[in-house]
Chain A
Amino acid sequence: MFDVRDDAGFVRFDRVQKSYDGVSLVVKDLNLDIARGEFMTMLGPSGSGKTTCLMMLAGFETATSGDILLGGKPINNIPPHKRGIGMVFQNYALFPHMTVGENLAFPLEVRGMGKSEREAKVKRALDMVQMGAFAGRRPAQLSGGQQQRIALSRALVFEPELVLMDEPLGALDKNLRERMQYEIKHIHENLGVTVVYVTHDQTEALTMSDKVAVFDDGRIQQLAPPDVLYEEPENAFVAGFIGENNTLRGRVTRIDGDICTVRLDDGGAEVQALRVNVEGEGARTTLSLRPERVRIAAPEEEVDNAFDAKVAELIYLGDHIRVRVKVAGNDEFIVKVPNSAKGRRVSVGDALRLGWATQDCRALDPS
């Protein structure tokens, strides 16, 4: 079935649209290529269309228009049970009336596989998630994390080339979630299977993925590897959704190659910023600045942009201290100060001089 050579477009969404009520589009003109063996995460807030995309790929929803291709062949009219796509559900959907072993044998059984072959595969799949001793248990006798592993191995036991995961770690507590993230990532690396993973948890997306598609309002806002996504967000939504972000609003007064000068709304101070997503001189813009890229500068130090700020709040977080300051009319401006021995102690009410490099301040679309 997957004999196509074009590995880059193993899964392809081609101008896909989806509307449930015939009035509003939940997915708007989606174009997306997923390469064979890739770990692709669809990240976005709820209602952004990411789960709908996954359900269309699995075959539980039909696209209103456009094509979905798997291995080069359109699958719009193939029912879900013939697509051969593994899927891990949010609530695991382990069949409660079957034992773990029966759950895993189910996909093999419906494929008409012989008993001995079935047992061998089930054992291998259980061993893969270190659950070999649990084949005789019922799902209700397992903890959440164990159920998660079983669901994962059930989706993989029939050796699909594509596995979909719909917020599979949402129900687990934080420590377990982090462990499972690594486990899923390692399984992906070992098996070389293509994974499409849906989550609203940005940490999860950044930890696990080769590529992340950030969804909002039915569109992909940015498709990039995690580091690019974090360090070079292309628009204000992505900058705000991924990681912590300080925003300053203003109007572009001058553009000089990659650098533009922005006059801030409040106070009228001018800032040098990297031109990323600005229409031209005179356009409104949102400046995005990561808290860890802001430094507390010494009074005589030379920096690209320097602002006076007043400390409003300190939050102690062990390895660093979050300092909330008021800068240029924005009193939600966060600076992360590393908790190092030589670091300066600040206290509430202190006047500081903040500075940042022009490259770290990105001029994005107005939001």
Chain B
Amino acid sequence: MAQADAGGIPTASEHEPRRKLVTADGTPLKRALQRAERRRVLAAFGLVAPLLIFLLTVFIFPIGQMMWRSVDNPQVVNALPNTLQALRGWDGQDVPGEAVFAALHADYMADQDRPRREQAMGPLGIRLNYELSAARGAISRTGRNVDTFEAPFREAFLDAHRLWGDPALWRVIQREGRPLTAAYYVAALDREYDADGNIVQRDENRRIYVSLYGRTLALSLGITFLTFLLGFPIAYYMSILPMRQANLLMICVLLPFWTSLLVRTTAWIVLLQQQGVINTLLVSVGIIGDDGRLSLIYNMTGTIIAMTHILLPFMVLPLYSVMRTIPPSYMRAAKSLGATPTTAFRRVYFPQTLPGIGAGAVLVFIISIGYYITPALVGGQSGRMISNEIARHMQQSLNWGLAAALGTMLLVGVLILYWAYNKLVGADTLKLG
């Protein structure tokens, strides 16, 4: 039998050597299949392409831009090419010599020859001012009559503005005379360069961002926990109600989504302010005295109350969708096996809601860590979060580099937390709907 198998029955390849499979019109089957496969891939790409292009232009590209801006540093290189060359080998201790000032003069003259829109001294002044206040004034004041300077330039510049005689300015120019900088990140971490170029912590009263990151983190965690505390019972209740009543409750939960931000904010102000509904009620009932009215808005309390309200649906929805799928028979089984209702809940029901809790917590946390508008409206000073500081640098101080650095750190922080969540719990257990 084995003999027959081995030699008796010819296999297809022996019988018809190298005969190719072809389609009806004679094309080799392999090529036809490849062509069909290519068409399928193209069609799939065509379906995805609009969204992909949209995301690239409005999401990926701007985020890349932001990250680039946090290290991009062209101002000094553009404005002072000759000066930077002359500064090479400077010891960083005393005011540089004549050669450097001559180069500086040459840079000024070259800049004045450029068309007005390409002039680099204005941006240079702004850039240097981030590192050293009054630098902008020195640059622009000197620029006004630099064309009258004559050699020796060192004296002329020192006469024009006293800052030219400060080695600190020259250290900044030397340090920032590179196309990429870490200075924005140094500033975003409440640090600065000392005279020797070491990174040191700022004076206590000038530290802002690290504590603000800490507060943002604490607020976000607190709000996440509050939404969990408030959301879990209602989600559980909805999951055991008949569909109709559950939907009605769901509408109540979703109501914050459907009211305009301004209406909502006005309502909070009416309710929470010192002469507002809640305070007046507490005073009239006698729980607090008239002089002991609570500050519930324009501080951290206001931020917490408002954000918990807005973000509650993000906790309730995933919780509800997970709880809905847990059949009541699990609890019954646990009880029939001898577990008290509390034990049954703790050991059997609660663990099964964890994917929902995880999804809700990740959603609420990530949204709240970057929340901007509500803290800005009801947060006052103590309820501000890091995003408000980013917005301030975007819109008021116009220090986009610092805003970008702060934003990038926020993004990286969220990614690290997500990574940690994935390691600890596993992102594939998330159930978002």
Binding site for B on A (CB under 8 A): 58-60, 79-87, 89-91, 93, 95-97, 106-107, 110-111, 154-155, 158, 164
Task: Collect the chain B residues with CB atoms within 8 Å of residue A97's CB.
Answer: 351-352, 354
**Least CB distance, A319 to chain B, in whole angstroms:** 38
Task: Collect the chain A residues with CB atoms within 8 Å of residue B354's CB.
Answer: 97
Task: Collect the chain B residues with CB atoms within 8 Å of residue A82's CB.
Answer: 338
**Is B352 within 8 A of A80, CB to CB?**
no
Q: Nearest 9 A-B pairs (CB), nearest first?
A: A107-B337, A93-B333, A87-B336, A93-B329, A80-B335, A81-B335, A110-B339, A97-B351, A89-B329
**Is A154 within 8 A of B352, CB to CB?**
no
- For A95, give its contact among B338, B340, B348 (CB under 8 Å): B348
* Given A95-B348, A96-B352, A97-B351: A107 and B329 interface contact (C-beta under 8 Å): no
**Is B338 within 8 A of A91, CB to CB?**
no
- For A158, give its contact among B333, B337, B347 (CB under 8 Å): B337
- For B333, give its contact among A79, A83, A89 (CB under 8 Å): A89
The verdict on B90 contacting chain A, using a C-beta distance below 8 Å, is no
The verdict on B343 contacting chain A, using a C-beta distance below 8 Å, is yes
Interface residues of B in 351-410 (CB under 8 A from A): 351-352, 354
Q: Which of B340, B347, B352 has the most CB of A within 10 A?
A: B347
For the complex, give the distance between the alpha carbons of A83 and B334 in Å: 13
**Is B347 within 8 A of A106, CB to CB?**
yes
Q: Which of B330, B336, B351, B352 has the most CB of A within 10 A?
A: B336
**Is A106 within 8 A of B337, CB to CB?**
yes
**Least CB distance, A339 to chain B, in whole angstroms:** 39
**Least CB distance, B429 to chain A, in whole angstroms:** 10
- For B338, give its contact among A58, A89, A158, A164 (CB under 8 Å): A158
* Given A81-B340, A106-B337, A110-B337: A93 and B332 interface contact (C-beta under 8 Å): yes
Name the interface size band of chain B. Answer: 20 to 34
12 additional contacts (CB under 8 A) given A81-B335, A89-B333: A58-B332, A79-B335, A80-B336, A85-B336, A87-B336, A89-B332, A93-B327, A95-B333, A95-B334, A96-B352, A106-B334, A107-B338
The verdict on B341 contacting chain A, using a C-beta distance below 8 Å, is yes
Which B-chain residue is minimally distant from A164 (CB atoms)? B336
**Least CB distance, B339 to chain A, in whole angstroms:** 5
Which B-chain residue is minimally distant from A166 (CB atoms)? B329
For the complex, give the distance between the alpha carbons of A89 and B352 in Å: 18
**Least CB distance, A155 to chain B, in whole angstroms:** 8
Task: Collect the chain A residues with CB atoms within 8 Å of residue B334's CB.
Answer: 95, 106
**Is A93 within 8 A of B343, CB to CB?**
no
**Least CB distance, A123 to chain B, in whole angstroms:** 18
* Given A93-B329, A96-B352: A111 and B336 interface contact (C-beta under 8 Å): no
Task: Collect the chain A residues with CB atoms within 8 Å of residue B336's CB.
Answer: 58-59, 80-81, 83, 85-87, 155, 164
Instruction: Render B273-293 as a binary contact track against A, CB cut-off 8 A, 1 for contact.
Output: 000000000000000000000
Task: Collect the chain B residues with CB atoms within 8 Å of residue A87's CB.
Answer: 332-333, 336
Task: Collect the chain A residues with CB atoms within 8 Å of residue B330's CB.
Answer: 93, 95
**Is B337 within 8 A of A154, CB to CB?**
yes
- Pairs A–B under 8 Å by Cβ, sample size 29: A58-B332, A58-B336, A59-B335, A60-B332, A79-B341, A80-B336, A81-B335, A82-B338, A83-B336, A87-B332, A87-B336, A89-B329, A91-B327, A93-B329, A93-B330, A93-B333, A95-B333, A95-B334, A95-B348, A96-B352, A97-B351, A106-B334, A106-B337, A106-B339, A106-B347, A107-B339, A110-B338, A111-B338, A155-B337
Q: How many A-B residue pairs have CB under 8 A?
A: 68
Which A-chain residue is minimally distant from B327 (CB atoms)? A91
**Is A84 within 8 A of B338, CB to CB?**
yes
Interface residues of B in 312-347 (CB under 8 A from A): 327, 329-330, 332-341, 343-344, 347
For the complex, give the distance between the alpha carbons of A95 and B336 in Å: 13
For the complex, give the distance between the alpha carbons of A87 and B333 in Å: 7
Task: Collect the chain B residues with CB atoms within 8 Å of residue A60's CB.
Answer: 332, 335
Task: Collect the chain B residues with CB atoms within 8 Å of residue A90's CB.
Answer: 329
Task: Collect the chain A residues with CB atoms within 8 Å of residue B343's CB.
Answer: 110
**Least CB distance, A39 to chain B, in whole angstroms:** 19
For the complex, give the distance between the alpha carbons of A102 and B31 in Å: 55
For the complex, give the distance between the alpha carbons of A96 and B349 in Å: 10
Task: Collect the chain A residues with CB atoms within 8 Å of residue B338's CB.
Answer: 81-82, 84, 107, 110-111, 158
Which A-chain residue is minimally distant from B350 (CB atoms)? A97
Which B-chain residue is minimally distant from A102 (CB atoms)? B347
**Least CB distance, A344 to chain B, in whole angstroms:** 48
For the complex, give the distance between the alpha carbons of A86 and B333 in Å: 9
For the complex, give the distance between the alpha carbons of A166 and B381 in Å: 62
**Least CB distance, B309 to chain A, in whole angstroms:** 32
**Least CB distance, B344 to chain A, in whole angstroms:** 8
**Least CB distance, B356 to chain A, in whole angstroms:** 13
For the complex, give the distance between the alpha carbons of A173 and B369 in Å: 52
Task: Collect the chain B residues with CB atoms within 8 Å of residue A158's CB.
Answer: 337-338
Task: Collect the chain B residues with CB atoms within 8 Å of residue A85's CB.
Answer: 336
For the complex, give the distance between the alpha carbons of A82 and B341 in Å: 11
**Least CB distance, A233 to chain B, in whole angstroms:** 34
Task: Collect the chain A residues with CB atoms within 8 Å of residue B341's CB.
Answer: 79, 81
Task: Collect the chain B residues with CB atoms within 8 Å of residue A111's CB.
Answer: 338
**Least CB distance, A292 to chain B, in whole angstroms:** 40
For the complex, give the distance between the alpha carbons of A110 and B339 in Å: 6
Which B-chain residue is minimally distant from A84 (CB atoms)? B338
For the complex, give the distance between the alpha carbons of A80 and B354 in Å: 26
**Least CB distance, B198 to chain A, in whole angstroms:** 53
**Least CB distance, B334 to chain A, in whole angstroms:** 7
For the complex, give the distance between the alpha carbons of A110 and B345 in Å: 13
Which A-chain residue is minimally distant from B352 (CB atoms)? A97
Which B-chain residue is minimally distant from A90 (CB atoms)? B329
For the complex, give the distance between the alpha carbons of A90 and B329 in Å: 9
Task: Collect the chain A residues with CB atoms within 8 Å of residue B337's CB.
Answer: 81, 86, 106-107, 110, 154-155, 158
Task: Collect the chain A residues with CB atoms within 8 Å of residue B329's CB.
Answer: 89-91, 93
**Is A81 within 8 A of B339, CB to CB?**
yes
For the complex, give the distance between the alpha carbons of A83 and B338 in Å: 8
Which A-chain residue is minimally distant from B339 (CB atoms)? A110
**Least CB distance, B38 to chain A, in whole angstroms:** 39
Task: Collect the chain A residues with CB atoms within 8 Å of residue B351's CB.
Answer: 97
For the complex, give the distance between the alpha carbons of A59 and B347 in Å: 20
Task: Collect the chain B residues with CB atoms within 8 Å of residue A93's CB.
Answer: 327, 329-330, 332-333
For the complex, give the distance between the alpha carbons of A356 and B383 in Å: 93
Task: Collect the chain B residues with CB atoms within 8 Å of residue A80's CB.
Answer: 332, 335-336
**Least CB distance, B335 to chain A, in whole angstroms:** 4
For the complex, give the distance between the alpha carbons of A254 and B334 in Å: 60
Task: Collect the chain B residues with CB atoms within 8 Å of residue A164's CB.
Answer: 336
Which A-chain residue is minimally distant from B355 (CB atoms)? A97
For the complex, give the distance between the alpha carbons of A93 and B347 in Å: 14
**Least CB distance, B64 to chain A, in whole angstroms:** 41
**Least CB distance, B331 to chain A, in whole angstroms:** 9
Q: Which of B337, B339, B347 has the most CB of A within 10 A?
A: B337
Task: Collect the chain A residues with CB atoms within 8 Å of residue B348's CB.
Answer: 95
Which B-chain residue is minimally distant from A85 (CB atoms)? B336
For the complex, give the distance between the alpha carbons of A60 and B336 in Å: 9
